[in-house]
Each structure stands twice: as structure tokens, then as C-alpha cells.
């Protein structure tokens, strides 16, 4: 009776330490700073673009700002996330980590939590800058933070995908596969709409629909288009989106843990 809580507590302390280490490692990464600098430049550029338009400037800043925020944080998740496991294996530092009383699954989860903490800071910094720009142009809305919440859900899925691929293959292949999931995740609904009428036979159509529901639909979490027109998010949408994300993340992390536990590190 006493071993389980103690074991759990020990496991959590180690996972937390690993997460903190991942956080420190990632924020020191050069890729992280390059992407952050690019993000700041793009957000300021959105303010310049708004001066060229006719009509609402705040709309342009919100549309461009949220898209840039989403895109840059996704790039951070992919390009920092893909190296999380592979670098440790390549540099052989993983032997030091795994020689401690730490399971491989804990290693994966610790890495994931650390990466999500980095992305939270990254996302919040960009939303704060976007908020400042909107204040400057008298178009501030708290809803950009709601949109940020949904961007974070998307990041949770993408980081889990990146981590899964990072635990089984090289960074280049991981980057390609994660990018492919990102593109498919954002185009599947539009593709289904345009392709479904062209598929002949009810079986083919059903298969296409099933395949569409099976793939991670990242576009369903994209509410940026609603924010600029102040359209309310549907009742019950947030809870379902969180559950959907949690299910996908659990699925991917379980697969990553299983793949990594079987991996021969020698």
C-alpha cells in the first residue's frame, strides 16, 4: 500500500526534473530564438500591412497575428520537438539519463511536458505582443487568448506526433512526417468536401469519410477565422476539443513509449 504512492511520487519528481531540463535545453536552442525573432518581425509586419488596407485595421492584425502565432509555434513544436529524443540517442547522453531510476516511458513523458511548457511560454509571449499591437490600434479583444488556447491544443497534438517520430526515426524523416501530418490535418476537411463527390461507389465514399475522421483534424481546432468577426464558439465545442486532443495525445504518447521501450539503443 505504501509503495505505490511513494513510487508514484518518485516517478513524478523524476519526470518533473526531466521536463525542467527539457525546458532549459529548448529555450537555449538556436532554432527557438530564430523562430521567436521571426515571429516578432512578422507580428510587427502585420501592423504595417494593416496600414495598407481599406476598412478595419484590427481585423488584419488579428488575422495575420493569429496565423503567424500559430505557424511559428507549430514550427517550434516540429523543429525543436523532432530532436528531443534523437539528439539524446545520437550524443549518447541518454545512457546517463536511463542509468538513473527512470523508465523509458517517463523519459518520453518528461520530454513532452518540458516541450509543452516551452510552447506555452512561446505562445503567451506572442499573444502578449499581438495584444499590445491591438491595443495600439484600438482593436484589442480578449478573444485572441481564447484562440491561443485552441492553438495550444493543436500544438499538443503536433508535439506528440513529433515526439513519436523522433522516438522511432531520424530528425529529417521526423520533420517530413510531422509536416505531412500538419498539412493533412489542415486540409483534410477541405479535401473531403472537394474529393468526396468525385469518389464513385458508396463504399469508397464511406472509406474516405472514415479515413477523414481517423486522421488528426487540426483544422477543427482552428478558430482564428471566427475571432476577427467576433463569432461565438459553439456551445460544448471547447470541452469536446479538449477531450479530442487529450485522446489523440494519449494515443500518440502511448505509441511513442511503446516504440521507444522496444528500441535498441546500443
Partner 1 sequence: MRRLLGLLLIISLFAAVVPLHRSLYALTQTYPDDFRSYYIPDSAHMEVLSLGYKNFWADLIFIWSLLYYDYYNRDVRYTYLERTFNVITDLDPRYREAYVMGALFAFMGQKWDLLYRFEDKGLLALPKDTVLAYDAGTYALFCEKNSERAARYFTIGMERDPNRTLFKKLLAYSLEKSGDLQTSRQFWSDIYEENKEGKTPEEKYYRGVALRNLWDIKVTIDTEALKKAVDGYKSRHGRFPATLKALELEGFVKALPLDPDQKPYAYDAKDGSVSCVSHFDFKAAFGQW
The burial of 158, by beta-carbon neighbours within 10 Å (0-12 exposed, 13-18 middle, 19 or more buried), is given as buried
Q: How many CB atoms lie within 10 A of CB 85?
A: 28
Candidate residues 219, 233, 238, 254; the one interacting with partner 1 per rule CB under 8 A? 219
Asked if 63 is part of the footprint of partner 1 (rule: CB under 8 A), the reply reads: yes
**All cell numbers assigned to 198:** 468525385
CA distance 157 to 138: 34
**Region binding partner 1 by CB under 8 A among candidate stretches 19-27, 64-72, 88-96, 207-215:** 64-72
**Region binding partner 1 by CB under 8 A among candidate stretches 12-20, 157-165, 184-192, 198-206:** 184-192
Residues 6+ apart with CB under 8 A from 89: 265
Q: Look-up: residue for cell 476537411?
A: 189
Candidate residues 132, 172, 183, 243; the one interacting with partner 1 per rule CB under 8 A? 183
**Region binding partner 1 by CB under 8 A among candidate stretches 3-11, 119-127, 201-209, 221-229:** 221-229
Candidate residues 20, 49, 98, 146; the one interacting with partner 1 per rule CB under 8 A? 49
Asked if 211 is part of the footprint of partner 1 (rule: CB under 8 A), the reply reads: no
Asked if 56 is part of the footprint of partner 1 (rule: CB under 8 A), the reply reads: yes
Angle at 39 between CA 34 and CA 40, to 5 degrees: 100
Q: How many residues bind partner 1 (CB under 8 A)?
A: 27
264 SS3 class: coil
Candidate residues 21, 29, 67, 169; the one interacting with partner 1 per rule CB under 8 A? 67
The alpha helices in 82-234, defined as continuous H runs, are: 83-90, 93-98, 104-136, 143-168, 171-195, 202-214, 224-227
Asked if 44 is part of the footprint of partner 1 (rule: CB under 8 A), the reply reads: no
Residue ranges in contact with partner 1 by CB under 8 A: 49, 52-56, 59-60, 63-64, 66-67, 70, 183, 186-187, 189-191, 194, 218-219, 222, 224-225, 228-229
Amino acid at each position: 500500500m505504501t509503495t505505490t504512492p511513494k513510487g508514484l511520487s518518485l516517478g513524478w519528481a523524476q519526470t518533473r526534473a526531466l521536463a525542467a531540463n527539457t525546458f532549459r535545453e529548448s529555450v537555449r536552442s538556436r532554432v527557438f530564438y530564430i523562430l521567436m525573432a521571426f515571429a516578432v518581425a512578422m507580428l510587427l509586419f502585420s501592423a504595417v500591412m494593416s496600414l495598407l488596407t481599406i476598412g478595419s485595421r484590427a481585423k488584419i492584425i488579428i488575422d495575420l497575428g493569429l496565423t503567424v502565432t500559430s505557424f511559428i509555434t507549430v514550427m517550434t513544436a516540429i523543429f525543436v520537438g523532432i530532436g528531443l529524443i534523437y539528439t539524446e540517442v545520437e550524443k549518447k547522453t541518454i545512457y546517463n539519463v536511463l542509468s538513473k531510476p527512470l523508465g523509458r516511458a517517463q523519459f518520453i513523458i518528461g520530454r513532452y511536458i518540458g516541450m509543452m511548457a516551452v510552447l506555452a511560454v512561446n505562445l503567451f509571449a506572442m499573444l502578449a505582443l499581438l495584444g499590445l499591437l491591438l491595443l495600439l490600434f484600438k482593436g484589442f479583444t480578449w478573444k485572441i487568448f481564447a484562440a491561443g488556447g485552441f492553438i495550444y491544443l493543436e500544438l499538443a497534438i503536433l508535439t506528440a506526433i513529433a515526439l513519436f517520430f523522433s522516438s522511432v526515426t531520424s530528425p529529417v524523416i521526423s520533420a517530413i512526417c510531422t509536416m505531412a501530418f500538419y498539412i493533412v490535418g489542415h486540409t483534410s476537411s477541405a479535401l473531403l468536401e472537394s474529393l468526396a463527390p468525385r469518389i464513385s461507389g458508396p463504399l469508397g465514399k464511406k472509406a474516405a469519410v472514415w479515413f477523414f475522421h481517423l486522421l488528426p483534424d487540426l483544422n477543427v481546432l482552428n478558430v482564428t477565422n471566427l475571432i476577427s468577426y467576433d463569432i461565438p464558439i459553439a456551445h460544448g465545442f471547447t470541452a469536446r476539443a479538449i477531450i479530442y486532443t487529450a485522446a489523440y495525445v494519449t494515443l500518440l504518447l502511448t505509441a511513442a513509449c511503446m516504440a521507444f521501450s522496444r528500441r535498441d539503443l546500443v
